[in-house]
Amino acid sequence: MGNHTFKGKAAVSVAAIAALTLAGCANVGGGDDNGGGDSSASAQEGGVVTVAETNAFTGANPGYTKTNLDVNSHVAAMTRESFNYVDTDQKIHPNEGFGTYKKTSDDPLTVEYTLKDTEWSDGNKIDKADMMLWWSELSGYANDASEDGKTGKDYFSIAGSTDILGSTEIPEFSEDGKTMTVTWGKPNADWEIAFDQNSFMPAHVVAKKAGMSEEELLKVLEDQKKGDSETPQKQPELEKIGKAWDTTFNFTATPDDKDVLVSNGPYTIDSIVENNSVTLKKNENYKGDKAGKLDEITLRTIGDATAQIQALRNGEVDIMQPNNVNKDTMDQVQQIENVNVQQGDQLAYDHVDLNFDSDTFKGDKDVREAFLKTIPRQQILDQLIKPVKDDAEVLNSQMFVSSQGEPYEKAVEKNEAKNLYGDVDIDGAKKLLGGKTPTVRILYNNENPQRVDTFQLIKESAEKAGFKVEDLGDPSWSEKLSDGDYDASLYGWVSPGVGTEMLSQIFKTGGGGNYNKYSNADVDKLVDEARANLDESSRNDQIAEVDKHTFEDAYGLPLFQSVGYVATSDQINGVDAYQPNATGVFWNVSEWSRK
């Protein structure tokens, strides 16, 4: 299955605090407060661990729109570090092995970031150029694209948004280049997670691919002009850098150019077998505080949960965390000796989104509402989720998942989702269609059995109202999301556990994950206000208002919160605290070891 990642409310990951990510949905609850590894005397240095992954690796830059996939983020969790990480309770912790940061002023919001003496795995120092590239990409400082995209340009194709750093000016640096001071033009609730490690790419490699030296790249970034969509201006050297950042790290097999494999995390990519596996080895030049214990970690692409179980039983994999779980999966794993299991609620959900730019749904709210009235959400839940979680309920919010408690309940009270789409209403749909028989082409991952079943249930129900449903199922579904050649999409979002990035990424006009071209001026205003609001309670009220708009606009429908499941060989230490966010089992990978 496939899932995308977003910056939202979820769990903690040592490796990455990222935007929402396309995913297959699988995470588990429980575990201790620390989420650390087992310090048992039986643990040892060295050894190999193999993990089953649902999706195939597609690139080493999950911050890029077209490679914003869960498995790529898992690799980034082992190969990238940042100023902080998130634990299993979704609390942010500083990562002082990489650097330190401190807020020096509230008005204006000002933060100092100081690098430790860290290096990339090829020995190149992490320095001012790396920080300026990171800031430039995440701030969108030079972006001047018009809302319709016909004039100007966005220089970096990021999967999230530029809302956290968007009001900052070009950073100031200390004389030695190790301390960067960033000043905001307005408050931002998510300032602490501004620098997303999923997007941290080596400046010296990007420079080389852009046809310039690292010093030349730094000069371009320092001299970039602030973007203004009213008066767009060409910045060709910056365009080269942006293109290199977008394209350099996209590969599905072992690249000839090993420069693109550099890491600043505890592990580095060693080899990739297309659609089969990605193998990482210990980063011998790692300078941080979270050095890995293992010699090697391999992620094997095994899309089917049954095949993952067989691989676990045979000792071919040590860890499985399938994106979808059914009762048969759980029963089969229980029969395997010497396996530890964690279960819980993922910070992830499945949903159907309608394409506001497609011929079928563009400008026709009646047709959108009619289609949503046919989606058999309760039947989908009863057939696919209740067998593994008997108290599961249909998800009735686009903003919160049910395990988040009060914020979810308040949003549901406000958005009237239960009244609008609580039950299938074929007669109501027919009335809205007025005799029309629109075609709805649905994009989804047809190698994910749960998505296949969901598609079939939707198709059968929608055709009763007169819709013609076409199957656009494709193993490469995630790469096609941004192309827009479909009417509806069926997939999952998985959260990194902290922050409000999902608001801008998914629901704001032009957001990096706004694949269905949704646009509502009131929503845009609420998003900006919420992201600048430092009061959590009133911020949640604003988010609930956004939620209400999405249901009123017939945006699409959430289906269910995903059930998480992790099964691990008892020969592995460290995988003993459930992480429900996007990073999942990899959140404390440096603590893993073999007994």
Taking the C-alpha atoms of residue 523 and residue 589, their distance in angstroms, rounded to an integer, is: 38
Q: Give the pTM.
A: 0.80
| Contact yes or no for 97/172 (Cβ under 8 A) | no
Once rounded to an integer, what is the mean pLDDT over residues 305-319?
95
Taking the C-alpha atoms of residue 410 and residue 400, their distance in angstroms, rounded to an integer, is: 10
Q: Going by C-beta distance under 8 Å and a sequence separation of 6 or more, which residues neighbour residue 342?
A: 28, 29, 30, 31, 564, 565, 566, 568, 578
Assess whether the region 92-247 and the region 353-375+399-487+504-561 belong to the same CATH fold.
Answer: no
Handedness of CA 530, 111, 227, 17 (dihedral sign): negative
Q: Which one is predicted more confidently, 296 or 15?
A: 296
CATH of 92-247, one of 3.90.76.10, 3.30.830.10, 3.40.350.10, 3.40.50.2300: 3.90.76.10
pLDDT tens digit sequence for 115-171: 999 999 999 999 999 999 999 999 999 999 998 889 999 999 998 789 899 999 999
- CATH (residue range 353-375+399-487+504-561): 3.10.105.10
CA dihedral 518, 522, 523, 526 (to 10 degrees): 160
pLDDT attached to residue 496 = 65
Q: Which CATH class is domain 3-89+252-346+563-594?
A: alpha beta
Q: How many Cα atoms occupy the beta-carbon half-sphere of 423 within 13 Å? A: 4
Taking the C-alpha atoms of residue 311 and residue 303, their distance in angstroms, rounded to an integer, is: 12
Query: Which DSSP category does 208 fall into?
Result: H
Strand partners, 298: 50, 279
pLDDT attached to residue 582 = 83
H or E element that contains 453:
helix 449-464
Helices (H) and strands (E) in the chain, counts: 17, 20
Taking the C-alpha atoms of residue 283 and residue 357, their distance in angstroms, rounded to an integer, is: 45
pLDDT tens digit sequence for 246-298: 999 999 999 999 999 999 999 999 999 999 999 999 999 999 999 999 999 99
pLDDT tens digit sequence for 439-463: 999 999 998 888 999 999 999 999 9
Once rounded to an integer, what is the mean pLDDT over residues 510-514?
87
Q: Which one is predicted more confidently, 555 or 577?
A: 555
Once rounded to an integer, what is the mean pLDDT over residues 65-88?
94
Helix (H, G, I), strand (E, B) or coil at 365: helix
Q: Please state the length of the chain.
A: 595
One-letter amino acid of 392? A
Residues 381-409 as b/e (b if ≥16 CB within 10 A, e otherwise) read beebbbbbbeebebbbbbbbbbebeebbe
Pairing assessment for the beta strands 179-183 and 172-173 based on DSSP bridges: antiparallel
pLDDT attached to residue 275 = 95
Q: Domain spans of the chain?
A: 3-89+252-346+563-594, 92-247, 353-375+399-487+504-561
Phi, psi angle pair for 294, to nearest 5°: -80, 155
